[in-house]
């Protein structure tokens, strides 16, 4: 009877990316890319409804920053040869629907959605920063810098949302909990699929 199964080392052809914890980096970049893509669509949905209202410029400015974030992650995705999540078309629609739906509840509704999403995202970025710091702060310096910067931007959006009376939105706590649950699910799926 032949000896037990032999495992052959799969030749890694990803030169130049040696020494990195590929699974961890893959997940981080994939989920962050999906997150920024979703945030873009959420703001697009909000603008579609509230673009001509008084909060239009505020939302537009936050949207512009998210566009920059997405651009950065597109570059990182190509540089680290990470595959995007299959669910992108789904986040495309879901994000827009969430943005438009929350905006239909009024300006405060839109701000409540922003607060919920941005809080989820900054918590998520924080845990990624922790992970990378535990791995090797030197090796992942560039990535850490990017994520820290983006985390600060998202926190700023969160604060802007609060400033614009997010907490006065109809059913604020229910809305916030529901949206944050959705974000958690989206993060879980995008990391893996």
Partner 1 sequence: VRCQLSPPHRALQGSAVLRRVSDEQKEPLASSQQQFDSHPTTHQPEQEPQGPRPSYTGQGGQESEDYESEEQLQHRILTAALEFVPEHGWTAEAIAEGAKTLGLSAAAAGMFHSDGSELILHFVSQCNTKLSELLEQEQKLVQLGEAEKKPTDQFLRDAVQARLRMLIPYIEKWPQALSILLLPHNIPSSLNLLTSMIDDIWHYAGDQSTDFNWYTRRAVLTGIYNTTELVMMQDSSPDFEDTWRFLENRVADAMNMGNTANQVQSTGEAVVQGLMGAAVTVSNAEPSRAVR
Report the residue number, 70 or 98, with the smaller CB distance to partner 1.
Answer: 70
Report the residue number, 82 or 166, with the smaller CB distance to partner 1.
Answer: 82
Quick note: the x/- pattern for partner 1 over 63-102, rule CB under 8 A, is: ----------xx--xx--x-xx-x-xx-------------
Q: Number of residues interacting with partner 1: please give it, by CB under 8 A.
A: 21
Smallest distance, Å, CB 175 to partner 1?
30
* Contact in structure between 120 and 56 (CB atoms under 8 Å): no
Smallest distance, Å, CB 41 to partner 1?
12
* Position 189 contacts partner 1 (CB under 8 A): no
Report the residue number, 86 or 181, with the smaller CB distance to partner 1.
Answer: 86
Quick note: the x/- pattern for partner 1 over 11-40, rule CB under 8 A, is: x-x-x-----------------x-------
In order of 5, 7, 14, 26, the CA distances from 10 in angstroms are 15, 9, 11, 18
* Angle (CA) 165 168 172, round 5°: 115
Chain residues binding partner 1 by CB under 8 A are: 2-3, 5-6, 8-11, 13, 15, 33, 73-74, 77-78, 81, 83-84, 86, 88-89
């Amino acid at each position: 009877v032949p000896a037990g199964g032999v495992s052959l080392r799969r030749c890694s052809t990803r030169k130049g990316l040696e020494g990195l914890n590929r699974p961890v980096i893959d997940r981080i970049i994939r989920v962050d890319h999906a997150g920024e893509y979703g945030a873009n669509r959420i703001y697009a949905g909000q603008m579609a409804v509230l673009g001509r209202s008084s909060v239009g410029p505020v939302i537009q400015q936050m949207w512009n920053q998210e566009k920059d974030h997405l651009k950065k992650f597109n570059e990182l995705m190509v540089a680290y040869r990470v595959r995007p999540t299959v669910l992108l078309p789904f986040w495309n629609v879901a994000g827009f629907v969430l943005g438009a739906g929350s905006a239909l509840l009024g300006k405060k509704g839109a701000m409540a959605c922003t607060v919920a999403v941005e809080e989820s995202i900054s918590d998520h970025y924080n845990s990624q920063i922790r992970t990378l710091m535990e791995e090797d702060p030197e090796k992942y310096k560039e990535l850490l810098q990017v994520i820290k910067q983006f985390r600060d931007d998202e926190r700023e959006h969160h604060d802007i949302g609060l400033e614009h009376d997010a907490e006065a939105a109809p059913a604020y706590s229910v809305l916030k909990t529901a949206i944050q649950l959705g974000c958690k699910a989206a993060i879980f799926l995008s990391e893996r699929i």
